[in-house]
């Protein structure tokens, strides 16, 4: 994983599986919000036969996510695609945890 921010301060990140033209390097980012991190693939990763692209995980946040708006839409709970960044590792898709689901105030206690 390549992190562009310190994820220790983030209760969750949004995770998506994008088709990208390369195994490595920072992907182009075409969503609202900001790119927080991305996965790099090893040389053994095979491209899609039909498109020649690689499926890579990309981690991002939107302007209304909890880190920017603690009392907003995700004051408790998390988006469907959100995972706790502390559960992410190479080859592991990550998961929701109590940390990612609870209110920001509780995470600071």
Range of the domain at 41: 2-107
What is the spatial distance between Cα 97 and Cα 52, in angstroms, rounded to a whole number? 35
Residues 43-54 pLDDT 10s: 999 999 999 999
Cα within 13 Å of Cα(13), Cβ side: 26
Residues 88-97 pLDDT 10s: 888 888 878 8
Domain count, the chain: 1
Please report which residue ranges of 42-107 form alpha helices under DSSP H. 98-101, 104-107
Distance of CA 93 to the CA centre of its chain: 10
94 pairs with which residues across the strands? none
- Token pair, residue 93, equals 């898709």
Q: Is the pLDDT of residue 106 over 70?
A: no
């Amino acid at each position: 994983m390549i992190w562009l921010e310190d994820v220790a301060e983030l209760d969750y990140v949004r995770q998506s599986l994008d088709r990208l033209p390369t195994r490595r390097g920072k992907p182009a980012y075409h969503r609202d919000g900001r790119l927080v991190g991305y996965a790099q693939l090893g040389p053994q990763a095979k491209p899609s036969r039909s498109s020649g692209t690689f499926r890579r995980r990309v981690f991002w946040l939107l302007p209304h996510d909890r880190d920017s708006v603690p009392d907003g839409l995700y004051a408790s709970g998390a988006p469907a695609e959100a995972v706790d960044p502390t559960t992410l590792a190479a080859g592991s898709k990550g998961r929701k945890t109590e940390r990612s689901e609870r209110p920001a105030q509780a995470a600071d206690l």
